[in-house]
Chains A and B, each alone.
Chain A
Amino acid sequence: MDNENGEVKAESVSAPVTPTSKDYLVRGCTHLGKILSNISIVGLLLMLSSFFLTYLLIAAYYFLLILGVLITLFLILFSPQYRAAFTDNAFISDFTSFISGAIFIIGPITIFTSVLALILLLIDKTNRSKGRIAYSATVLVLSVLALVFYAIFHF
């Protein structure tokens, strides 16, 4: 548009469009969904790490004891302290109950946040955050499975 009138027209039509309150609402929902998705990922990591930590600790405990057996095979046969260490696992049971308590608190929070994140992320149809939706869905499935398996093994 070379003439003067054309320039005026070009300027008026190129004026930016003001976002509506619906735009801001959708953006807010997506933002909140992403925050909740981050929290749920951390929740799942905490769940899984505590889940494995329990068994790792038990494994490490018995590994050290077996190491002790190998090194001091003679002592284990005659020392009552070593024999007691094999039979007394109060520490392990205390730790396991603490971890299971933590899992039963973190688990539902993780499931709740991932469900909420999924709902909020699905509101925005234009900016479909596919990666985030996939993360949240995976976190939801894994946390439900972890909670169910832990409940089955624990009770």
Chain B
Amino acid sequence: MKQLIIEVWGKCKFKPIISINGHRVDYQTLDGKQVIYYNTSESAVTVTITRILEINSKWWFPLFLLYAIISIFGIFDIRGDHKYLSYKCSFEVDLINSKTDISVNLFKVKRKGQPVAEITGKTNIRIIENVCEVDKKAKRRTIILRLTKLLLLAAGVAILICALSGIF
């Protein structure tokens, strides 16, 4: 039996889903670090990194509308979260020894085409794909959301003006 230990770190806000040979693996905390342990008898495994895009959830519209209302039209919302960029990252790792350590440094997602992560380790690592790409469904939803926020803001301003001028 061989063990693969993946240390996941970096500047990304939310840890992505990591699957090994198509099976999802859970993170464990070791000395404040997020580590994944995977035991296998195989000599090589394929690791895939998937980003959770909140906007692709089932209840995305009411949820984001709620965020917009609570955060007062997005004033108090969190910044720099590129909602529509997904990860396309997978790589193969050779398990030569009984214990193989690799380190995954996740970058902050800023634009499409940038690498998702830097994978290092004292073993053979073959990168299959490692790039950020635009999720079309998420981008379409982001545009709808922006338009809705603008409409909400316009409605809010109109109500405020009417209330101040004494129409109501």
B residues near A (Cβ < 8 Å) are 13-15, 17, 19, 21-22, 24, 27, 29, 34, 44, 46, 48, 50, 52, 54, 56-59, 63, 66-67, 70-71, 76-78, 87, 90, 92, 128-129
Contact = CB atoms under 8 A, between A and B. Distances in A.
Interface in A1-59: 1, 10, 12-17, 19, 21, 23-24, 27-28, 30-32, 34-36, 38-39, 42
- Tell me if B's interface is mostly helix, strand, loop or mixed: mixed
Given A23-B17, A28-B57, 10 more contacts: A10-B128, A13-B46, A13-B48, A14-B22, A14-B128, A31-B54, A38-B76, A38-B77, A125-B29, A128-B29
B68 to A, nearest CB: 10
A136 B48 CA distance: 34
A10 B92 contact: yes
A14 B77 contact: no
Contacts of B52: 19, 23-24, 27
Nearest to B60: A24
Given A28-B54, A39-B76, A127-B15, A15 B44 contact: no
22 contacts: A1-B44, A10-B46, A10-B128, A13-B46, A13-B48, A14-B128, A17-B22, A19-B17, A19-B56, A21-B57, A21-B58, A23-B17, A24-B52, A24-B57, A27-B14, A28-B54, A30-B14, A32-B66, A38-B76, A38-B77, A39-B71, A127-B14
A126 interface: yes
B48 A15 contact: yes
A125 B157 CA distance: 40
Q: How large is the interface on A (under 10, 10 to 19, 20 to 34, 35 or more residues)?
A: 20 to 34
B122 to A, nearest CB: 21
A120 to B, nearest CB: 12
A16 B76 contact: no
Contacts of A125: 29
Contacts of B77: 35, 38
A126 B50 contact: no
B27 A126 contact: yes
B44 A16 contact: no
Contacts of B14: 27, 30, 127
Interface in A95-145: 125-128
B67 A17 contact: no
Contacts of B15: 126-127
Contacts of B19: 16-17
A5 to B, nearest CB: 14
B50 A16 contact: yes
